[in-house]
Amino acid sequence: MGAVRERFNPASTVVSKRPRTFYIETFGCQMNVHDSEKVAGVLMARGLRSVENDQDADLILYNTCSIREKAAQKVYSRLGAFRKGGRGSGTIIGVLGCVAQQEGERIFERAPQVSLICGSASYPRLADLLGQIEAGNRRVAGLSLATDECFETELTRRDNPFRAYVTVIEGCDQRCAFCVVPTTRGAERNRSSQRILADCQRLVEEGFSEIQLLGQIVNHWTDPSPARLSFAELLSRVAEIPGVRRVRFATSHPRHFTPEIVKAIESHPALCDQIHLPVQSGSSQVLARMRRGYTREEYLEKINCVRGARRAISISTDVIVGFCGETLEDFEQTVSLLDVVGYDQVFSFKYSRRPNTAAAGFEDSVPEEEKGRRLAVLQEHQRQIQLRRNGELVGRKFEVLVESFQPRLQQAVGRTTSNRVINFPGEPEWIGRYMDVRVTAAGPNSLVGVQTS
């Protein structure tokens, strides 16, 4: 791949006014959410103002997701709706993120109203690309994957008032057979421990008490600086910053999950008692075909390590049903794994064939209807597990951070460090406070409680 490509087509040049306002819509994962915060920061540093509504924006950006086909289609439906809306030709439209990287300049053909396409590996060049747009260029593309840089910004817009995201690693080298990410986000790039810790320190000074470290495979982070901290050491160092009350991290890959991470959680109360550890399948045969790099038994060893911790740690996972060649027996092993592990949350998906992946060359053997059936069985099974596990919490007391308030029910909505949601009678002023709550009732997805402090 070459350098960032910039196209200039004089015939389609419009004497565009310099955009003064922008609107950005984000699809997909937390990495995308945080990328949008950084993109917004770059725009704000250039003097553009963020607006709440696309109707008021001179520049509209879609930060896209292509992890499954349905997600990727969303951007085209947005672009189609935009055209039907008959918006003025002065509005500049950009497609960012994974669909931009995957589709490349085909987007210009399919959606001629688009002026900017930029994949996440080219975000360090985003300011230059915007300069091109402001100079009147109607077709600008940043599609190079050949970078060893991370997206560093002077300014980052913070959209969540409680939780500040900090990137530790970008890209992915794993090449799981089903996954499009290595071809949309590029090879792994690590940020140095000094940079990460300085970001966390600054965020605490700005008033954030919860930090979430982000990476496609966050626990594959390797310190490129001479300090050579391990990921577990990094977690401890972040947790030790005075003022940090909650540290989360996502997403971990089981292959790189070490007992040191569990030890760090045990010894630092600020490290949340929650781990997201995607298993994808409970069948070793399917895992081998997925190229996950572990067997069911090896995964369960990691789980045993988590379960052996002195403090209870909540575990969540991702599951794909109907992967190429998945038999009924394989599927049943995934269902049985849910029982063995006792997850508190499961994000489950029907397998969706993606371009440029190893599995694109496999036979997508499970019919769509059967994928749907398996998904429904799995989700119902997990619902019962959560109902039972949450039921066991009735009577117990937890500290929650109040994140919102529901005026209709006059209820505060708090989150425990184990990532459970508790609704309890409260006041709007409680938003942002840490409070103790006793659980009085439990549903599969949330708890009900009363404040005790």
Question: Using CB under 6 A as the criterion, which residues of the chain lie in contact with ligand 5AD when the complex forms?
Answer: 67-68, 178-179, 278, 280, 318, 320, 349, 351-352, 354
Nearer to ligand 5AD, 186 or 414 (CB): 186
CB 67 → ligand 5AD: shortest distance, Å?
5
Closest by CA to 332, choosing from 374, 382, 388, 278, is 374
| Residue in the shown chain whose Cβ atom is closest to ligand 5AD | 318
Closest by CA to 271, choosing from 283, 260, 279, is 260
Nearer to ligand 5AD, 76 or 362 (CB): 362
User: Do 394 and 441 contact (CB within 8 A), yes or no?
Assistant: yes
Nearer to ligand 5AD, 164 or 181 (CB): 181
CB 323 → ligand 5AD: shortest distance, Å?
8
Nearer to ligand 5AD, 121 or 290 (CB): 290
Give the SS3 label for residue 444: coil
Nearer to ligand 5AD, 285 or 348 (CB): 348
Q: Measure the CA–CA gap between 269 and 267, rounded to whole angstroms.
A: 6
| DSSP conformational letter for 400 | E
Strands 434-442 vs 447-451: parallel, antiparallel or unpaired: antiparallel
Q: Measure the CA–CA gap between 432 and 401, rounded to whole angstroms.
A: 6
Q: Measure the CA–CA gap between 361 and 46, rounded to whole angstroms.
A: 44
Q: Measure the CA–CA gap between 254 and 23, rounded to whole angstroms.
A: 37
Nearer to ligand 5AD, 41 or 322 (CB): 322
User: Could you tell me the two tokens for 347?
Assistant: 């994000």
Q: Measure the CA–CA gap between 372 and 380, rounded to whole angstroms.
A: 12
CB 74 → ligand 5AD: shortest distance, Å?
15
